[in-house]
Amino acid sequence: MTASQTLAAFAVGLEYEDIPAAVIARAKACIADTIAACSFGAQLPWSRIVIELACANSAPGDATIFGTPHRLRASFAALANGATAHAFELDSMCQPSVGAHPGAGLAVPGLAVAQMQRNSGRELITAFVAGCELMYRIGDAAHHSSEKIGFHAPGLLGVYGGAVTAGLLMKLDAGRLSQALGIAGSLTAGILEFSKSGGMVKRLHLGRAAEAAITAAALARDGFTGPAEVIEGKFGFLNVYCRDADPGKLTAGFGTTWHTLTTTLKCYACHSTAHVPVTAALAIKAQGIHGDDIESIMVAGSEKMFSHHNITEPQDMTTAQYSAPFNVAISFYRDPRDPAAFTDAAVNDPAIRALTRRVKLEIRAKQPGDTTLASRVTVRLKNGREIVQDCQFFPGMPQQPLTTDELRAKFNALSGALQPVRAAALFDQCMALETIDDVGAIEFA
């Protein structure tokens, strides 16, 4: 069997009853978190451009663009929701990272198709978990190496995971689901140049992945085919987009190791590589330290933070949220837990920009027991005093998951487009998703 056939067989064979309770809980939390991130993101100017495009090109349908009254055909709603989920660095990811975003990559196409197909909540959860297990394993086998070449991994991996999620909800058998993976290999996209010269396209990568996932599943349902060795072949994903891939990770631990548990929810509106340094900065700030007191900051962290996120002159909101120096600096002047702190005014604030220039990054020498994001923040004050804060985790990681109350608070904060009573009811429905007989009957707007 080829890799895609083996992966598809696992996905089709997965039953809701096979999934541990903790995995189900993480899936539901991610789905709720994604709806909230979409609702917030839909209000942003760059998101409105994508939403208007989707509305102009889609006939009315059953799938909601969250945070709006619009209901479109599934693929167009997924395009918009994928872009809005990732619109402000608020969507979920995985830790240890493999470059996958479960919310935008799986929950978005899953919710769109489940509304269209009138699937149950149990079917949506099962399809989400199957997609997550496959998407994570493909990213893990790739050694997260696509970004070293210059590709934006979520735009690559999301199509594979989303095609599985969408395909299961469309009731594809293993053969056709394998074809959906084969088709997905020709629909992956996204390069990292935005990190160097700006633009809005980073947000679009997840929208295109979600849209393409539904397209791949629908084409496979109707008999369209893709290459059998799309993942491991000579010109397959692991050999074209990656370096030093490990195909053995594609199927390791099926049914015993649940990578869905790596799903991580964000509490700051910035790139994940800055979350641990920001958490350390907030601990220092809590000692009464203000940005005006600081002479310089040294952040020792991951190699990726140093190579991809060492941006001291962010040009726009995208590069600011991608910049580790900016995100550490803003933490000493504003509250990074509030998405409203990340504004053009903050990017152009003279004090924040000046401190951003005085944040230096270096690669942290790995210590026994370190997580991949472990960081040390050293703040030198103008009076000569030095404060050092080591940090391993940030709130929302698997080692420090958000409580239901914390998740509800984030959901409410991001769902301003909904009436409070509707937001409360929607959150409760997400937390009891396994009891929902028809996802299409949920009032998302």
Cα-Cα-Cα-Cα torsion 198, 40, 335, 29, nearest 10 degrees, comes to -110
Shared-domain flag, residues 253 and 149: yes
CA distances in angstroms from 334 to 34, 140, 281, 328, 341, listed in the order given: 25, 36, 11, 10, 6
Q: How confident is the model at residue 416 (pLDDT cuts 50, 70, 90)?
A: confident
% of the chain beyond a pLDDT of 70: 100
β-pairing verdict for 375-381 and 294-301 = antiparallel
Q: How confident is the model at residue 2 (pLDDT cuts 50, 70, 90)?
A: very high
Q: Classify burial at 345, counting beta carbons within 10 Å of its beta carbon; exposed 0-12, middle 13-18, buried 19 or more.
A: exposed
Please check whether residue 125 is in contact with residue 182, taking contact to mean a CB–CB distance below 8 angstroms: no
CA distances in angstroms from 202 to 149, 337, 410, listed in the order given: 16, 21, 23
Buried b / exposed e along 74-95 (16+ C-beta atoms within 10 A): bbbbbbbbbbbbbbbbbbbbbb
Shared-domain flag, residues 219 and 295: no
| Residue 416 within a domain | yes
Total domains present in the chain: 2
Q: How confident is the model at residue 372 (pLDDT cuts 50, 70, 90)?
A: confident
CA–CA separation, 359 and 138 (whole Å): 35
Shared-domain flag, residues 328 and 296: yes
The helix-helix angle for 275-285 and 324-331 (nearest 10°) equals 20
pLDDT of residue 151: 95
The closest of 332, 379, 329, 374 to 355, measured between CA atoms, is 329
| Residue 397 within a domain | no
3-state secondary structure of 84: helix
> What average pLDDT score do residues 244-248 get?
94
pLDDT of residue 56: 98
Shared-domain flag, residues 38 and 125: yes
Please check whether residue 178 is in contact with residue 5, taking contact to mean a CB–CB distance below 8 angstroms: yes
Shared-domain flag, residues 361 and 332: yes
Shared-domain flag, residues 149 and 210: yes
Shared-domain flag, residues 77 and 180: yes
The closest of 240, 214, 76 to 158, measured between CA atoms, is 214
pLDDT of residue 188: 96
| 26-64 pLDDT tens trace | 999 999 999 999 999 999 999 999 999 999 999 999 999
Shared-domain flag, residues 416 and 354: no
Shared-domain flag, residues 73 and 43: yes
Residue 384 pLDDT > 90: yes
Residue 371 pLDDT > 90: no
pLDDT of residue 271: 94
How far separated are the first and last CA of the chain, in Å rounded?
44
pLDDT of residue 366: 85
Shared-domain flag, residues 262 and 284: no
CA–CA separation, 239 and 12 (whole Å): 26
Amino acid at 164: V
User: Which of 391, 411, 428 delimits the end of a domain?
Assistant: 391
> What average pLDDT score do residues 101-119 get?
98
pLDDT of residue 126: 98
Residues sharing a CB contact under 8 Å with residue 330, sequence separation 6 or more, in sequence order: 336, 341, 342, 346, 352
pLDDT of residue 38: 98
Q: How confident is the model at residue 91 (pLDDT cuts 50, 70, 90)?
A: very high
CATH number for the domain including 127?
1.10.4100.10
β-pairing verdict for 294-301 and 359-363 = parallel
| Residue 164 within a domain | yes
Residue 76 pLDDT > 90: yes
CA–CA separation, 381 and 402 (whole Å): 33
pLDDT of residue 377: 98
Q: How confident is the model at residue 144 (pLDDT cuts 50, 70, 90)?
A: confident
| Residue 119 within a domain | yes
| Residue 198 within a domain | yes
Residue-range definition of the domain harbouring residue 292: 272-391
> What average pLDDT score do residues 245-271 get?
96
Q: What average pLDDT does the chain have? A: 96
CA–CA separation, 181 and 174 (whole Å): 11
| 120-140 pLDDT tens trace | 999 999 999 999 999 999 999
> What average pLDDT score do residues 420-432 get?
96
| Residue 113 within a domain | yes
| Residue 287 within a domain | yes
CATH number for the domain including 295?
3.30.1330.120
Residue 394 pLDDT > 90: yes
- pTM of the entire predicted model: 0.95
Q: How confident is the model at residue 386 (pLDDT cuts 50, 70, 90)?
A: very high
Shared-domain flag, residues 147 and 25: yes
CA–CA separation, 423 and 415 (whole Å): 7
| Residue 76 within a domain | yes
Shared-domain flag, residues 67 and 172: yes
Residue 155 pLDDT > 90: yes
> In angstroms, what is the C-alpha Rg of the chain?
21
